[in-house]
Structure 1
Amino acid sequence: SPAVTVADYANSDPAVVKSGRVKKAVANAVQQEVKSLCGLEASCVPAEEVLSISGESCDSSDEMDTKENVSGRTASRKKKSKRHKEDPDGGGGEEYPIDIWLLLASYIRPEDIVRFSLICKKAWTVTCTAAFWTRLYRRHYSLGAYLPLRLRPESMEKLHCLRACVIRSLYHMYEPFASRVSRSPAIPDSTPSTLKNSRCLLFWCKKIEGNRQEAMWEFNFKFKKQSPRFKSKCCKGLQPPSQYEEVHTNPDQDCCLLQITTFNFIFVPIVMGMTFTLFTINVSTDMRHHRVRLVFQDAPLRNGKKPRLEQGVQVVLDPVHSVRLLDWWHPQYPFSPKA
């Protein structure tokens, strides 16, 4: 049998082997040698028929693949052309003028304002306007409502802090919002966790004269909550248009008041300017009241680290009558006179 050389393979030099197929003589020789080594008789089918059948099957499969690819491409092109015909701009939907959104905003409930503003950019822009907040205030104002001087109709003509003042007034006039405030318990069911890493801006205490023979003391801690940039280190969120910045101004934005009432006076060290890192509410030693412990640090805790008590300032209030956390829109929150 003739010897099989490197020149007989497909990756050989084209000058040596011009055809991509194996030579018939070489194929027959290889087949006979393999059969003899395996102890089998020579196949009745000639090698050229096997090669021709395999070649035809390969060619036909290639043709089928090419046909399927061509048909798939044409189908995808037809689909794309249909999409372009149906939607030439590629945006989808209709774009309505801002006057339509301003008209629809007159029928939005206060608790649905966020959902309405998320419909599209123009709906959000409407919620930034002074007209939107003025109409919302007039729609829910009633003559019998008791309002602070800053939240009365004659004071609502100012554009400065208009949005914040309307939101505060809704917690006086709008029943669903007012009921949320009235249902808050004297002692929260769980320890609030939103104050972590907040900065203490102010602290004051006052004596409360009530029906009891002995007066109680109220300790107030005003905090500035952690900003979103500190949490995720990302840029600022969506900002209102420049012409409505005065409407959205709020000196008490992200502020809250921790109000703790005790049965007697307790000395509290200076904690203004420090960061609030730990807040616990436990049962008092007499098993009749509650005990509150506050821990302040010089710097905020990052990456979930636990506060070191020896490095911070502890404030222990015991016994405690009530613990209340008032957000800036709460009716009893002492909002800034700059508003």
Structure 2
Amino acid sequence: MVTVLQERSVAGVLDRPSVGEISVAGRVLSPTPVFDTYWRFAAARQKVYEARLDGGAGPFTDDPILQKYRFTNCYRAADRVSQELIGEVIYRGDQDWGEVFFRTLLFKIFNKTSTWRLLQDALGEVRWDGYDYRAYDRVLSRAFSAGQRLYSAAYIVPPPHLGEQRKHQNHLRLLEMMMRQGAPRRVLSAATLQGAYQVLLSFPAIGPFLAYQFVIDLNYAAEMPFSEMDFVVPGPGARDGIRKCFGPRADGIEAEVVRYMADTQDEHFARLGLTFSGLRGRRLQLIDCQNLFCEVDKYARVAHPQIAGISGRSRIKQSYRRQAGPVPAWFPPKWKINTP
């Protein structure tokens, strides 16, 4: 049983954070109570993940908010969809970079395991060198007409306008465009993670948030050489969480705020007396700190309802439902954190 926010009440955590003003990108920021909640939430959510890995019936926390609502893991790569992508898509099958790129982007456009398996079951091995638009469209259109949901609700993937009627058809055309215009080679030859991101950003309907998410996914592959500490693009949810932690003074410097959190994590866990050993010793990376801002934004809707973000959302939509089966935990081998 994990006791999380010892000083928390549903009405809010503390009257003030236990840290004074901080300087980020030349600005002086005054943390709100949500700032300390960020660290307490991270420690608590990671302990829940670790307890689930160890097995047992649960509940794994006595925090009523964590018990009631669904929150993603602290580490993006530990979530189930990322685990499916890493273990069953990127590292299973032909390791030719073009094929890895094609599989990764095809999976992530839909971001739904059932859609990936639908294509596999109908078409066999998913490969660019055997790709046929008509075959892929036939499978997806049949499922769509039967009422099957093709896309995850995790985030919106807007369709490009490439001459087709249905969303999935235009996304197939987009992926064809990327492959034929040399996106795999251009991404891999980029000098930096940001450079690879810019390649993806140049294609229709791929905005900053999606381009960043996709480049992080591609960077799980063995061929991609970049560190997750190289570059970050805070999404809308993260900006909401940053606003709740620091107020409007942080507007416009969100990427620098995320880096501050990653750089000072050990200091703040220690300051609050929290145990956080990371992901088998791996510290929170920029992508993880970005995601934690999204999650603390949701958590604060209940724990700190008086502290406003940007969106004005006041409820957490997804309730916690324990998933059956073991918790997968296999990560890119280049991280060197997989257990024997």
> Do these two structures clear the TM 0.5 threshold for a shared fold by scoring above it?
no
Return the TM-score normalized by structure 1: 0.21
Return the TM-score normalized by structure 2: 0.21
Higher relative CO (CA 8 A, sep ≥ 6), structure 1 or 2? 2
Q: Which has the higher strand share?
A: 1
